[in-house]
Structure 1
Amino acid sequence: MTEQSSRWDVFEFSANGPTEGNPYLEVSFAATFSLDNRQVTVPGFYDGEGVYKVRFCPDTEGEWSFATTSSAKPLAGLKGRLSVGPARANVNGPVRVRNQFHFAHADGKPYLPFGTTCYAWTHQPEALQEQTLKTLAESPFNKIRMGVFPKDYIYNTNEPLYDVYEKRADGSHDMDRPNFECFRHFETQIGRLMDMGIEADIILFHPYDRWGYCTMTEEQDFRYLRYIVARIAAYRNVWWSLANEYDFLLDTKPMERWDRFFHIIEEGDPLRHPKSIHNGDVDKNYDHRKPWVDHVCIQNWDVKKTLAWREASGKPVINDEPEYEGNIAKEWGNISGHELVNRYWLTLCRGGYIGHGETFLDDADELWWAKGGVLRGEAVSRIAFLRKIFEEDAANGLTPLMERGSTFKRVSAVADGEVRYIYFSEHQPVEWALGLPEKDGDYEIDLIDVWNMTVSPLEKAALPKVHPQRITGGSHITNQFAAAFGLKLPGRPFLAVRIRPRRKH
């Protein structure tokens, strides 16, 4: 019998095998999928009660065959066939790096990450999880950072819905016996996000722990990683975040182990989902230049450094935690919605990407950043507005503009092909020319109020006045703007300008 699937969907093959002993430790299982002269080997996993599974995400249409290998005879040499048809509507494939600093789906559709953080949402009561999914469906977010393990931290001290590993009689956790129900629930929620078109940025380790997960042995760490990769790598919406604040775990997981973690993921992930790792201390960034890292993943409030991070790494930059909109006592969790929106525009207009989080005090301790639930802040609607603007003309990615050989330092300016964006942030000029097109033409020029969410047409104006300027050596430059025209502006901060060739209707 030939099984049926579609390109970039999850195909699952199950078989019954041994139950004695501890199959998680003792039984290996995998399958090799073949199409013409191509072979893809996919690790399998034990799912409890004698059931072994392999999950495969076919990236190519055609008539595939597969055969299993295993250390257990009943699971070895099983064969099957898989007919893979075209991708279903609105399925664009996994996200990958494109054009060095940007992302796109496997079918080429540009992907601009607009992510949020809900660390332990899958560990909350089911009613709260349903509310989180409902909120996400109505939000502008197309990516969510979420942890495999529960979290022990302020505003997040409740017991998780499921233990990740089984409990012993004394209440401690046996890190050699996974709780299959927990993993099934976790991957179910990843699948629901996938159906909503939301990427799941999976945080594999974090330091906020009272259950013993962050002090597993090296062997247990490696086994856990292989297991979670085998279970969820076939979901097209998965990203890998090795850790939230890895540097706070260096006492139990030395740097060479983090490097090995990346390699283990690569070995078990045929789709090569995006991989990165996230710092705690702003001075302890992982070396994202290492070849196994796909993009920069950091937390840092000084978003004007985005240009420097791009130049240092040569990779896409996602600032997951530029601080959160909220009102808690922690300094990273009480900036205004206005300031978060400002940091969004600053980051995007310097060629990077940025994440959202919300930390408003709540009587039930249901803070979005920790548990999900509902969104209360003012930034969300402005992020939706921003996302619509940038996705409208998305093509190759936002590239920082250059002026006399250097990037813009004070104002922020980027271009995607012939479309330019200039963001003034705290600056409030009444006339402007820097970064405008050097050749005159028929342009649509819009003034964008990033907080009031308005887009108003602008007309070309004369260039601002200039005066010769003395430079080193005693010579002079004219200081003439290279632009073909200038603009008259309202003289208010937190405005942006978009310039693009006029559309033909």
Structure 2
Amino acid sequence: MRGFKGIFLLSVGLFLNINSVFAQLKIEQWNRFELKLPNNSDKNSFSDNLLSATFTHKDTSITVSGFYDGNNQYIVRFMPDKTGIWKYSTKSAFTPLNNKKGEFECIKASANNHGIVRVSQTYHFKYADSTAYFPLGTTAYAWTHMADDVQEQTLKSLQNSGFNKIRMCVFPKNYELVKEEPTIYPYAVKEIKKDAKGNEVKIWDFSQFNPAFFQHLEKRIDDLQALGIEADLIVFHPYDKGRWGFDEMPMEANLNYIKYLVARLASFRNIWWSLANEYDFVKSKTDKDWETLIKAVVKADPYHHLCSIHGSTAKYFNYQMPEITHTSIQDGAPVLNWGGAAIVRSIYPKPIIFDEVGYEGNLKSRWGRYSGEEMNHMVWMGLLGGTYVTHGESYMFKDHRDTIFWAKGGQFKGNSWKRAALARQILSETGPLEMADVSRDFKTATNGKGTYLIYFGKEMLEEWIFDLPHKNASSERPKPGTKYKVDIIDTWDMSITKVNTTFEASEANDYRIADKSNRKIRLPLKPYIALRITQTNPD
């Protein structure tokens, strides 16, 4: 595997002939413990999930499913979340796999290991170690199905960006602009037939997985983890149209696939589950089917990774469903109109991610021809409303064989990707945001702790007279005499300029606060300017 920068991935590849493993191993918190066990069987080792293991730590007990990895080898993986001694015992109908026991020591996580991402403060996220996480992600649906050199270039591009999440598919993609045939497939071939035109058509055995396919996917997910990037993994999608048939598998095969996928990947700390991309375009599944599949993923995952589902334009799933941890919405309207993102946020008491609002690019389709400035503007409009927006890029200079990043990864060709690092920096310094006066002031957000963010969007202003809403969301309102400093943030040119003026709040007047001396500052007469107003004196 590629360099892991301190990731401690330990496999216990022991061919056991006894029932206990006495060697004590050290596994870093939130990393993977892996137990490999050999067994010969004439059963369908993929469909008959005949191995599990129970891990215990003091008063904690977690049971995880094992899986068959081919070549007469079974694997159990476990992600410990508590330091100290963990003991385990296997259970299987196969005698050689049953009642294998051992233990390992879980040691404290290293500096770059923050653990799994969880929901925090209803609308936001944090890692398991309580470090705040702000999703500034991008999209490359089929990057793991491209040629090896393109995959390596994708990782290099991501390493040089500020992104910390990527939306990506498990299955390959067949689309107007994505026609590459993958070199490996998720299932074994049952037979090959000829269609009416004489082309070969593969008939899959949906009961027989191809371990090499999933091993490759795991390698790439670990590569992303080494870069500090979450893999927002799309389990199903409609971009098949009969080419492979992975979008029209029977429900039994879908559920078996979910069990196998989750058994393999749940121990990866940087996994998010996205049940589908544009779920409503998968005509073989109903909303009830999707609810069944969502519940199956959540039930199979002992660590309860983040889980959502994505629809087509302005198609909103039942995000109130308790198994769904956050929204994954395709809709540009909320971030193209002032206050729109905050309205969506008020509907769902969960983190709001607009995972598709359009792409910077030059395609004929309207969704793929935003300028870099417009893409960056939509990201900031989302942040202002206390929500998050996923980036995308879709430049095509020749034909569909181009490595269009939106689907294939490769090298960024636009400009908006460079701005992600600044947005993450601002969020890390201010903390989670929400609109200060949500029904009246659509341009001012607050962290509730004395810092405000004002974003002017496409307006070009020469000056700004100190003016804040008296409302501070649900937090305590500022008092007269409170002093503030101001930074001018150029979100496009990526600069932060400190203003050498201290402002002092007056008494509130009609829900607004002015400076006692009506002081103002000069602005650069450019679009995409933001102001960060920070309280300087304690309450």
TM-score by length of structure 2 reads 0.86
Q: How does 1:22-421 map to 2 (within 5 A)?
A: 22-170=44-192, 171-209=202-240, 210-249=243-282, 251-282=283-314, 284-302=315-333, 303=335, 304=337, 305-363=340-398, 364-394=401-431, 397-402=432-437, 406=439, 408-409=441-442, 411-415=443-447, 417-421=449-453
- 1:155 positional shift: 1.9
Contact kept? 2:30, 2:115, Cα under 8 Å? yes
1:451-504: CA deviation from partner (whole Å, max 9, x where unpaired) = 22222233357999xxxxxxxxxxxx9747334455344354321110113499
Query: Percent same amino acid at aligned positions?
Result: 37
Q: 2: CA distance between counterparts of 1:460 and 1:61?
A: 48
1:377-400: CA deviation from partner (whole Å, max 9, x where unpaired) = 111222222222222233xx1122
Matched letter for residue 228 of structure 1: L
Contact kept? 2:483, 2:502, Cα under 8 Å? no
Which residue of structure 2 lines up, in the alignment, with residue 500 of structure 1? 534
Matched letter for residue 445 of structure 1: V
Matched letter for residue 353 of structure 1: Y
User: What is the aligned residue count?
Assistant: 485
Contact kept? 1:438, 1:482, Cα under 8 Å? no
Contact kept? 2:86, 2:103, Cα under 8 Å? yes
TM-score by length of structure 1 reads 0.91
1:375 and 1:311, CA in 2 relative to 1: closer, same or farther beyond 3 A? Answer: same
Contact kept? 2:273, 2:308, Cα under 8 Å? yes
Q: 3-state DSSP class of the match of 1:222? A: helix
Unaligned runs of 5+ in 1: 465-476
Contact kept? 1:428, 1:493, Cα under 8 Å? yes
Contact kept? 2:379, 2:389, Cα under 8 Å? yes
Contact kept? 1:155, 1:366, Cα under 8 Å? no
Q: 2: CA distance between counterparts of 1:230 and 1:135?
A: 30
Q: 2: CA distance between counterparts of 1:263 and 1:407?
A: 39
Q: 3-state DSSP class of the match of 1:26? A: coil
1:407 and 1:199, CA in 2 relative to 1: closer, same or farther beyond 3 A? Answer: farther
Q: 2: CA distance between counterparts of 1:261 and 1:338?
A: 38
Residue range with higher mean Cα deviation, 103-112 or 61-70: 61-70
Q: 1: CA distance between counterparts of 2:75 and 2:132?
A: 33
1:16 and 1:35, CA in 2 relative to 1: closer, same or farther beyond 3 A? Answer: same
- 1:417 positional shift: 2.1
Which residue of structure 1 lines up, in the alignment, with residue 487 of structure 2? 446
Contact kept? 1:440, 1:484, Cα under 8 Å? no
1:488 and 1:156, CA in 2 relative to 1: closer, same or farther beyond 3 A? Answer: same
Which residue of structure 2 lines up, in the alignment, with residue 469 of structure 1? none
